[in-house]
Structure 1
């Protein structure tokens, strides 16, 4: 039996990392103001969060996942000494997340890659986003449609709390394939 989804590197994480590498310094500063922290929900192996920490080096990173995934995530953070001093690993179960579990909530930026593939995850993920963000917070979401039914449940709920904008392909950015990127801003 496998270890679960948190132990795989998903295409959406790689796509999110590539996009961050191809945006300008000005765009990076718009995503995350200097001295602020960002949160990655559902970090898994940490590829998206660690890449974001490298690209958004003006701030701090809090990478989160279920407790069973955290030992491997911590190990991957330690393997990246260039960013490890600015990265914290925190447990976050979307089913029961509260502000006390998120050290810097509300975050200026939340990132997430391929986190919603089952209908049962839709409302817990939305609740986690609402807990982690405040007015004007941004969410960078990499998403692959795995079920139209799930997307039909997810995107209206996301749009009820966030302005949702698709992110266009950047020059030089690798082809995204089935992955879509969205930049969302929390509504007041």
Structure 2
């Protein structure tokens, strides 16, 4: 099955949530017009689900821009030597928003080889943005990207709306493990990239398996926010629509996990084989929380 054209595909363009529209429309460069409804519908016809800007992408787009009007916890800084890789980039909306806000950062957009033409078209007008083929679970693709970057290791991995098809959950986790494992040229384990992942709940019963396995290898916390102009406002979990169905996480590898063996079998990977445990309930605890507090 082509993951970008699942059976019964019937989708159309998305639009930015009203809460964020003023912030995203202010100065996001869109030389190719790929944010428009017409451009999305045209891309969907040619590239399937990769041509749509999915809901969680808007949350990530706002977060990576670090606008002065908002305060985030945790806050991510993209320094002058930042190297950000977007997985399953599709239209590249999140990665290009990052590139527009942090022109000194090196941004690499990745997706399946057949989606790369879409990314290359949308990246026109963004000097320094690169496009590379990277199929999830493909060790050769991940190794090629790391080798190409060489002594400039990845500092951030960004992902939006990637947790959906059950058959892609293990390959996605495997690629995250490939890209966050320090190379021999890394000075220390401290060079491990941060993973910024936005996620919209679609089929919780199918998607929980990813988060329970992800939590064995990574520590992750939800992002909170508040308006800077409202100092007395309480922190709230960052969610585009306010319906509690969109999460934004910042994650990092557990240091002990660098010494574990990643199983080659996908089922074994999701079942926790190789990790020091078989299940992590961090995500379920977040779902059960009635009130959210800022992370300490």
Equivalence for 1:126:
173
2:27 corresponding residue in structure 1: none
Q: 2:64–2:76: 8 Å Cα contact kept in structure 1? A: no
TM-score (norm 1): 0.85
- Which residue, 79, 100, 111 being the options, matches 1:54? 100
Highest RCO, 1 vs 2 (Cα 8 Å, sep ≥ 6):
1
- Deviation, structure 1 residue 23: 4.8
Query: How far 1:179 sits from its partner (Å)?
Result: 1.7
Query: Normalising by the residue count of structure 2, what TM-score does the alignment of the two structures yield?
Result: 0.56
* 1:68 equivalent in structure 2: 114
Gaps of 5+ in 1: none
CA RMSD in angstroms comes to 2.6
Q: Which runs of 5+ in 2 are unaligned?
A: 1-8, 10-44, 182-188, 229-237, 256-296
Cα distance change, pair 70–170 in 1 and its aligned pair in 2 (3 A): farther
Q: Which aligned pairs between 1:1-188 and structure 2 lie closer than 5 A? A: 2=45, 3-23=47-67, 30-78=76-124, 81=125, 84-96=126-138, 97-102=141-146, 103-104=148-149, 106-134=153-181, 135=189, 136-171=192-227, 176-177=240-241, 178-188=245-255
Shift of 1:50: 0.0
**In structure 1, how many angstroms separate the alpha carbons of the residues matched to 2:65 and 2:202?**
26
CA contact (8 A) 2:58 2:240 kept: no
Q: Deviations over 1:136-166 (max 9, x none)?
A: 3200000011111233201121111211100
Q: How many residues are aligned here?
A: 183
Encode CA deviations 1:19-71: one digit per residue, 9 max, x unaligned.
223456xx899543322311000110011010011223331000000111111
Going from structure 1 to structure 2, the CA distance change for 1:170 and 1:47 (only over 3 Å counts) comes to farther
Determine which structure has the larger strand proportion and give its number.
1
- CA shift at 1:11, angstroms? 1.1
